[in-house]
């Protein structure tokens, strides 16, 4: 993560909330992806489906070589966002580019920012005094251990599972991925994705505190921080026009 990426993080994530022009442009263009995917009843969408897609699903559509530059640019935006995030940004038939931008920024910075746990540092041949987890000191540090197997992280997940009244709570990355992809409800899936991002962020920040300040938060304080981040985001979502079911779902998580 370079300095500009850090500056562009939301203030809640330690940045200055500057807008990243490229990613903001992608979020705006994603509105057209949403319109095409949802097959809106407008002339240009009908034309796209008739001339280019011809009944194919837009997300799995294979772009041919001989196509116009604007259609190629739009298709290339598909890889910038998940289908779930685009659907969530278009709740109630009104697309919210700002929410998509913030959500995608969180995913890019937290999930895909090449978090340099000790196992990755060794691959770059960075000299280390120890490769043991700075939080528990029991096992070697890796993504899998830090976020899902470390005794502190497990306790955090247990507290959050109790808060959300979830019994089948995954404790490995790949199980998390499968679990998130199995959530079919658009808003609920969006909430669980936000939760995953916030859990990773808070655990990672505590790991940095252990390294640089020799101090670790308790599991309950980390879980409380995750809940606060989640509730602030959900309050923002609740200000939009939601269905009765969506309003009840938001209320369930903000009580």
pLDDT beneath 50: ranges in the chain: 1, 12-13, 108-114
Domain residue ranges of the chain, discontinuous segments joined by +: 1-113, 114-255
Q: Which of 1, 251, 232, 241 is nearest to 102 (CA)?
A: 232
- pTM equals 0.55
Give the CA angle between residues 203, 79, 122 to the nearest 5°: 45
For 109-120, what is each residue's pLDDT tens digit?
444 444 667 876
d(CA 57, CA 80): 17
How far is residue 3 from each of residues 6, 18, 41, measured CA to CA in Å?
A: 5, 12, 43
Three-state SS string across 139-182, please? CECCHHHHHHHCHHHHHHHHHHHHHHCCCCCCCCHHHHHHHHHC
Digit-coded pLDDT (tens) for 47-66: 888 888 887 877 778 887 77
DSSP 132: B
Burial class of residue 45 in the structure, from the number of CB atoms within 10 Å of its CB (0-12 exposed, 13-18 middle, 19+ buried): middle
Query: Whole-angstrom Cα distance, residue 165 to residue 117?
Result: 31
Query: Would you state the pLDDT for residue 177?
Result: 66
């Amino acid at each position: 993560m370079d300095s500009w990426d850090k500056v562009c993080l939301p203030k809640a994530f330690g940045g200055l909330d500057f807008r990243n022009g490229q990613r903001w442009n992608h979020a705006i263009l994603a509105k057209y992806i949403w319109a095409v995917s949802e097959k809106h009843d407008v002339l240009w969408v009908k034309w796209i489906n008739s001339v280019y897609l011809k009944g194919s699903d837009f997300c799995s559509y294979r772009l041919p070589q001989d196509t116009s530059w604007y259609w190629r640019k739009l298709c290339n935006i598909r890889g910038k966002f998940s289908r779930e995030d685009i659907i969530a940004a278009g709740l109630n038939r009104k697309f919210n580019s700002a929410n998509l931008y913030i959500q995608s920024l969180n995913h890019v910075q937290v999930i895909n920012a090449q978090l340099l746990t000790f196992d990755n540092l060794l691959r770059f041949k960075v000299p280390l005094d120890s490769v043991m987890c700075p939080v528990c000191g029991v096992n070697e540090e890796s993504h899998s251990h830090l976020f899902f197997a470390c005794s502190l992280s497990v306790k955090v997940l247990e507290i959050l599972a109790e808060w959300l009244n979830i019994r089948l709570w995954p404790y490995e990355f790949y199980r998390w991925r499968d679990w998130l992809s199995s959530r079919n409800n658009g808003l609920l899936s969006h909430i669980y994705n936000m939760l995953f991002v916030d859990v990773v962020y808070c655990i990672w920040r505590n790991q940095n505190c252990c390294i640089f300040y020799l101090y670790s938060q308790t599991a309950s304080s980390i879980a409380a921080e995750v809940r606060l981040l989640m509730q602030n985001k959900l309050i923002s979502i609740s200000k939009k026009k939601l269905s009765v079911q969506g309003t009840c779902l938001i209320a369930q998580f903000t009580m």
